[in-house]
Amino acid sequence: MTALLSIKDLTMRFGGLVAIDSVSFDVRPEAITALIGPNGAGKTTLFNCVTGFYRPRSGSIRLDCSGRLTELSGQPGHCIAQLGIARTFQNIRLFANMTVLENLLVAQHAELMRASAFSIAGILGLPSYRRAEKKALDKARYWLDRVGLLSRANEPAQFLSYGQQRRLEIARAICSGPRLLCLDEPAAGLNSRETIELASLVRAVSQELGLAVLLIEHDMSLVMEISDHIVVLDYGRKIAEGSPASIRGDKAVIAAYLGEPDGEAA
């Protein structure tokens, strides 16, 4: 199967620090790819390159747009979003003063803006806009229902609990209609029950929408359970790549997480 996202020789430097050192890997469509590694390995930096926050020093990030490969680095954020990449953040970034429902409508902005002809059709209440708006609302309500937040649709997002905010952030990313969903530590701060719910949500969403998921996560049981493919970074380099089973037994990975065994033990 051809890759949906293809990262080649990606290098990102901050002054003298090499945060990502010629990393290459592919993200396959309709599969969950996990990006793991110790703190400071460069995982979030890589996400920031993919979503256009950073301009990489060298290398390429290409997205397959119906057969044509499109270079992502250097594109403004809203173009990357419109190409079909959505992401969530380690620290939650909801629009705190807007309602839960509005957060999901912002995610469908590009479509609604087209339908409303820059708000003009919206103000006039033309039927074409009404239809688009209804569709957007239905979609938002559907995903609110899926993440169990439908009853709180009209409350400001900041009133939700931490776990609910995490789920809303994922729902918002889904509502933007991505082909690649990038989740940055979605289970951070969740208790074990919430983590299990999250795992089944991510799995179900990926299968239901045929969505590729790129996941950064420290919770190894979650990673091993839901990933189809795992990429391991350490100090900015890719040290291993493969199925969960192969990663679990990989010596370099174990060394990176637990430290090198000393001379005698080896």
Partner 1 sequence: MAYFVQQLINGLTLGSIYGLIAIGYTMVYGIIGMINFAHGEIYMIGAFVGLITILALMSAGIASVPILLILAILVAMVIAGLYGWTIERLIYRPLRGAPRLAPLISAIGLSIFLQQYVQLTQGGRVKTLPPLISGGFTLMRGDDGFTVGISNFQIVVFLLTLALMAGLTLIINRTELGRAQRAAAADPLMAALCGVDVDRTISVTFIIGAALAAVAGVMVVLYYGVIDFFIGFLAGLKAFTAAVLGGVGSLPGALLGGLVLGLVESFWSAYADAAYKDVAAYAILVLVLIFRPSGLMGRPEVEKV
Per CB under 8 A, does 128 bind partner 1? no
Strand ranges of the sheet holding 32-36, from the earlier edge strand across to the other edge: 85-87, 180-184, 212-216, 32-36, 229-234, 237-242
In whole angstroms, the minimum distance from the beta carbon of 231 to partner 1 comes to 22
In whole angstroms, the minimum distance from the beta carbon of 89 to partner 1 comes to 8
In whole angstroms, the minimum distance from the beta carbon of 257 to partner 1 comes to 31
Longest CA–CA span in the chain (Å) reads: 78
Per CB under 8 A, does 75 bind partner 1? no
Per CB under 8 A, does 73 bind partner 1? no
Per CB under 8 A, does 131 bind partner 1? no
Q: How many positions of this chain bind partner 1 (CB under 8 A)?
A: 33
In whole angstroms, the minimum distance from the beta carbon of 70 to partner 1 comes to 16
Q: In this structure, which amino acid lies at residue 234?
A: D
Contact call for residues 68 and 17 (beta carbons, < 8 A): no
H or E stretch covering 51:
none
- Which residues does 208 contact at the CB level (< 8 Å), separation at least 6? none
Place of tokens 């509005």: 102
User: Which of 15, 67, 76, 249: binder of partner 1 (CB under 8 A)?
Assistant: 76
> What is the end-to-end Cα distance of the chain in Å, rounded?
40
Nearest to 231 by CA among 256, 207, 214, 206: 214
Per CB under 8 A, does 216 bind partner 1? no
User: Which of 31, 110, 137, 239: binder of partner 1 (CB under 8 A)?
Assistant: 110
Per CB under 8 A, does 63 bind partner 1? no
Query: How far is 43 from 38, CA to CA, in rounded Å?
Result: 9
Per CB under 8 A, does 196 bind partner 1? no
**What residues line the site for partner 1 (CB under 8 A)?**
51-53, 76-78, 80-82, 86-87, 89, 93, 95-98, 102, 105-110, 112-113, 116, 118-119, 122-123, 172, 176
